[in-house]
Amino acid sequence: MKLFKSCMMPGRSNLGSTGDNSIIGFPVYITYPKAVHMEENSVIRLGTKILNNKDEHVYIGKYTVVGVNCVIVTNGHTSTVGIPHVLLGASHINDKSQNIYIAEDVWIGANVTILAGSNLGRGCIVGACSLVTKPVPPYALVTGAPAKIVGVKFSIDQILEHEKALYPASERMSRDELEKLFSDYYEGKKVFGVQTELTEDDYEALRKAKELRGYIEPNI
């Protein structure tokens, strides 16, 4: 168990690995910090709890924000004849134990619970107070308990444009990949995000936000 104060992570983190400008807000509770990994420009906000064992890793991708008071649980207990529940957690007999992967550019709203097996795909959004029990595809908007797909973050053309700003060419999703993704998950779903021309005031606000966050520009 560790409590972290808000800090710039490089050089003084107790986590397993951290990228430049990865930030944790105080207080958080992490059972095994060495099994938690953050990439650059990622944020874990205050009140978050990560309940893991030493062999259960949580990976948080670049540009991702874990909102306030989230709970991430890497194992679940299976009722077992002859073993009282008070001993299941301590013994880990018949546990469902899995790493959790949270990809790049994910937004996790306040008070979300993420359970073992709930890997989150690139660019997805998880609405506040949701319960995630299974994998979430890239760019999905999910809400509810259990969380279900209710929309998609951007259109295919918007995703292609968005990824040009965030990732080198070798890391971007192709149009073919996106068309299959939309065919599998997003037929008839509403597009959540917008694409607008930024004003001078918008650019100034963005500049100040980058300065405040210590944002590291992508190498593209």
Residue 92 has pLDDT above 60, yes or no: yes
Axis-axis angle for helices 156-166, 175-185 (nearest 10): 130
Residue 19 lies in a domain: yes
Q: What residue type is 219 in one-letter code? A: N
Query: Which CATH number goes with the domain that contains 123?
Result: 2.160.10.10
Residue 157 lies in a domain: yes
State how many domains the chain has. Answer: 1
Residue 66 lies in a domain: yes
Residue 172 lies in a domain: yes
Non-local (6+) Cβ contacts of 190 within 8 A are 150, 151, 152
**Cβ of 80: how many Cβ atoms within 10 Å?**
14
Residue-wise pLDDT for 145-191, tens only, equals 999 999 999 999 999 999 999 999 999 999 999 999 999 999 999 99
Residue 58 lies in a domain: yes
Lowest-pLDDT range of 11-15, 156-160, 203-207: 11-15
Residue-wise pLDDT for 128-141, tens only, equals 999 999 999 999 99
pTM more than 0.85: yes
Residue 220 lies in a domain: no
- Residue 122 domain boundaries: 7-213
How many degrees, rounded to 5, is the angle at CA 135 between CA 141 and CA 113?
75
